[in-house]
């Protein structure tokens, strides 16, 4: 079954990823590595131009030149743990996390926070339906802000990241849900802030984009003047799938 590995150390100056903290790492099961801030594919199994030049224990030296990237950049690492996927049952609830890719300049209220993001396999079936029953936000930049998350039912762009929304009447028809995350929802945990949105604001019925099992989301800053690093904010949706 494909899983996302979060135990690694990224050393871009050396073009290396250290998987020593991931128990049982086997490079033959490594499927792909994506640089989350830019969406660039750094590694892909069976693709020589996106392979590796050296492997020392669990330290992988990539073919891809990562020297312009930063050690703190998040990576999305797909790995085959060789376990059988469990069948999804009607009514099953899943947590799906996505990283909101931010600009590294100060935002103001009303500006679009992130590019439109695909939430893959949000629904159980093609053209499926379900309900968002929980929403959390982890802000590792420890900012004081509020945001609205918008859910779309079509391929749709809310506006340019860092600019104000620019929506045609036709595109506005694809807007389906708005989830409010208030400044008062966040709890300061020292080096980060965490929000768990109350059920009455989190609960939203949803439908997949036609011909897919995914939904798309974006977000607008509604209060504060936050400044983030590119991958500081993680949005997690708890979805009950029909």
DSSP-assigned states of every residue in 50-101:
GSEEEEETTEEEESS--TTS-TT--EEEEEE---PPPPPPTT-EEEEEEEE-
Residue 87 inside a domain? The answer is no
pLDDT per residue of the chain (242 residues) written in tens, 0 to 9: 678 899 999 999 999 999 999 988 999 889 999 999 888 899 988 787 899 999 999 999 999 999 999 999 999 999 988 765 556 566 788 899 888 888 888 999 999 998 888 888 899 888 999 999 999 999 988 998 999 999 987 777 788 889 999 888 888 888 889 999 999 999 999 888 999 999 999 999 999 988 898 899 999 999 999 988 767 789 999 999 98
| Side-chain half-sphere CA neighbours of 178 within 13 A | 10
- 213 and 103 assigned to the same domain: yes
pLDDT at 90: 65
Rounded distance between C-alpha atoms, residue 222 and residue 151, angstroms = 16
Domain identity same for 109 and 220: yes
Residues 193 and 124 in one domain: yes
- The CA distance from 31 to 34, in Å, is 10
Q: For residue 24, give its domain range.
A: 2-80
Q: Residue 165: give its domain's CATH number.
A: 2.60.120
Instruction: Give the tokens for residue 157.
Output: 């762009």
- Same-domain pairing of 53 and 126: no
- Identify the pLDDT of residue 157: 78
Q: At which of 80, 115, 131 does a domain end? A: 80
pTM score: 0.63
Q: Which pLDDT belongs to residue 45?
A: 84
Judgement on whether residues 152 and 34 belong to the same structural domain of the protein: no
Same domain, 113 and 145: yes
Which pLDDT score is estimated for 18? 95
Shared domain check, 58 and 104: no
Examine the fold and report which residue of 43, 59, 80 is the final residue of a domain before the chain moves on.
Answer: 80
* Number of CB atoms found within 10 A of residue 42's CB: 24
**Does any domain span residue 33?**
yes
Tell me whether residue 86 is in a domain: no
Could you tell me if 58 and 146 lie in one domain? no
Count: domains in the chain: 2
Does 114 lie in the same domain as 22?
A: no
Same-domain check for residues 69 and 171? no
């Amino acid at each position: 079954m494909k899983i996302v590995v979060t135990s690694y150390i990224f050393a871009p100056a050396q073009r290396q990823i250290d998987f020593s903290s991931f128990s049982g790492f086997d490079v033959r099961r490594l499927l792909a590595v994506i640089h989350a801030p830019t969406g660039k594919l750094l590694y892909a199994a069976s693709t020589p131009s996106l392979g590796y030049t050296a492997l020392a224990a669990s330290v992988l030296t990539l073919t891809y030149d990562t020297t312009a990237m930063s050690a703190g950049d998040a990576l999305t690492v797909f790995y085959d743990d060789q376990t059988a996927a469990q069948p999804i049952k009607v009514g099953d609830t899943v947590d799906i996390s996505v990283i909101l890719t931010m600009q590294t300049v100060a935002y103001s209220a009303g500006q679009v926070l992130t590019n439109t993001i695909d939430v893959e396999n949000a629904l159980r079936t093609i053209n499926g339906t379900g309900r968002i029953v929980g929403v959390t936000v982890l802000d590792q930049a420890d900012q004081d802000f509020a945001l609205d998350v918008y859910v779309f039912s079509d391929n749709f762009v809310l506006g340019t990241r860092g600019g104000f929304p620019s929506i045609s009447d036709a595109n506005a028809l694809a807007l389906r849900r708005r989830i409010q995350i208030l400044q008062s929802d966040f709890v300061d945990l020292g080096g980060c802030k965490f929000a768990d949105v109350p059920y009455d604001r989190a609960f939203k019925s949803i439908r997949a984009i036609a011909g897919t099992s995914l939904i798309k989301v974006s977000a607008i800053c509604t209060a504060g003047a936050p400044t983030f690093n590119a991958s500081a904010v993680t949005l997690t949706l708890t979805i009950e799938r029909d």
